[in-house]
Structure 1
């Protein structure tokens, strides 16, 4: 995976618009204290991490990426359904890549669906980060599948069903919030390190002028 591929993180959940400014300010003003950050970092092993910069992101809307290359070797099992009982999520998972027009990570336009980054590991992988992202909300659709992602805590369970019909359970070990210009991108888009599931959406204050959230919420889970 290229450096530009890993730059997709900040773009994954960007672009979610407001129900109303008041609603978004209220949502963004409920800070979720980070938990499990050390454990999330340890799962990535000793791989150096790269932090997004203002120069790389251009603005809070997202990070340009390229189409990348699919992981080599073996059949990839994509997730097709995601269940998170603690926050009432049952969502279809679409394989996504890069919007060729904008060069940004392409989150499904329907906010009740989420996207799996198909240039990273699938559910069969023995290592690396399986990345799934979704919108927090949208002006014309309301709350997204990951609207309550910030409420997840250590010990909560996530079930991802593959296109092979098999359910795989994961246990949440970390929840972190980053400014989109400060995310250690390599950590969350790695194809190495311990097997883990990475869930991402927008969070933090909402900028009514740019119509983007400032931050990303990142939840890390390990096989249960």
Structure 2
């Protein structure tokens, strides 16, 4: 069987893309502290593989670069990588998600932008990661709550189960379909950087929001909910 168009180019781009992703991962990790109403008046804990980080410590010294992280273990996907195309819409039927997807870059202060705190705020794809269906882990963020506006698009993300499907409609009108491998809830102070950003040998998807019991007094949420999924078809 001949290799689908775009696969060779995708593989050739992988090394350079991993290097670019490594330069921005610390900013993304910092942005996760602001996601889903998680910000508080106290200094945020920095996600780390090695344990709790003192609030006054810089994130840059404690978040490993994906380019040097060990490969993340995951289920094997049967689908070939797809050519690059940015995500336009995310659908997760089992938890009622059908949302536009906006692109999220870096703000002027070097931190990753997050979806807006507003009614019907969409999910956001981090543009420093592969597009959904490309080789590697594509990262999509969403709010669990949106302040005075109530529920966020990822309110029920922690209810996803292994084997359920997630589909991403892309700008070129193709659809990348993923199957959930696992769902993890983890303290922000122990954010699993290697598992989320580590190099993988097939296309994967990461969905990230906040989790745990909401802290009173506007303290946000103590945890992150992370969904790991693998591409099973691209059309």
Asked whether the two chains share a fold, i.e. TM above 0.5, the reply is yes
CA 1:10 to 1:222, structure 2 compared with 1: closer, same or farther past 3 Å?
farther
Q: Distance between the aligned counterparts of 1:11 and 1:162, measured in 2?
A: 24
Which of the two has greater strand per residue? 1
* Superposed displacement of residue 152, structure 1: 0.2
Select 1:131's aligned residue among 128, 135, 139.
Answer: 139
The 3 A distance-change label for structure 1 pair 77 and 191 is farther
- Residues 57 and 5 of structure 1, relative CA distance in 2, 3 Å threshold: farther
Judge conservation of contact 2:143–2:209 (CA < 8 Å) in 1.
yes
The structure number with the bigger radius of gyration is 2
Return the alpha-carbon distance in structure 1 between the equivalents of residues 86 and 32 of structure 2: 18
The alpha-carbon distance between structure 1 residues 169 and 3, as it changes in their structure 2 partners (threshold 3 A), is: closer
Query: Is 1:114 equivalent to 2:123 in the alignment?
Result: yes
1:11 paired with 2:31, answer yes
The CA distance in 1 between the partners of 2:54 and 2:154, in whole Å, is: 26
Q: 1:90 aligns with which of 98, 118, 139?
A: 98
- Which stretches of structure 1, 4 residues or more, deviate above 4 A after TM superposition? 56-59
Tell me the TM-score normalised to structure 1 length.
Answer: 0.70
SS in 1 for 2:148: coil
Counterpart secondary structure, 1:206: coil
Question: 2:108 is matched with which residue?
Answer: 100
TM-score by length of 2: 0.67
- Structure-2 change in CA distance of 1:149 and 1:57 (3 Å): farther
Residue correspondences, number:
182
Aligned 8 A contact 2:186 2:223 in 1: yes
Cα distance change on mapping 1:120 and 1:56 into 2, 3 Å:
farther
Q: Distance in 1 between matches of 2:169 and 2:152?
A: 20
Once the two structures are TM-superposed, the CA of residue 194 in structure 1 deviates from its matched residue by 2.8
Is the contact made by 2:182 and 2:228 (CA closer than 8 Å) also made in structure 1?
A: yes
Distance (whole Å) between structure 2 residues aligned to residue 90 and residue 54 of structure 1? 35
1:175 aligns with 2:183: yes
User: How much has 1:52 moved relative to structure 2?
Assistant: 6.1
What's the CA shift for 1:97?
A: 1.6
Unmatched 5+ stretches in structure 2: 1-18, 39-47, 66-81
Relative distance call for 1:52 and 1:133 in structure 2 (3 A) is farther
Distance 1:56 1:165, change over 3 A: farther
Instruction: Please tell me whether residue 161 in structure 1 is matched to residue 169 in structure 2.
Output: yes
In the TM superposition, residue 167 of structure 1 has moved relative to its aligned partner by: 1.1
For structure 1, which segment, 80-89 or 7-16, has the greater mean C-alpha deviation from structure 2 after superposition? 7-16
Structure 1 residues 107 and 81: alpha-carbon distance in aligned structure 2, compared to 1, 3 A threshold: same
Q: Which structure has more RCO (C-alpha within 8 Å, separation ≥ 6)?
A: 1
Alignment RMSD (CA, Å): 3.0
Cα distance, 1:118–1:58 mapped onto 2, change above 3 Å: farther
CA pair 58-106 structure 1, distance change in 2 beyond 3 A: farther
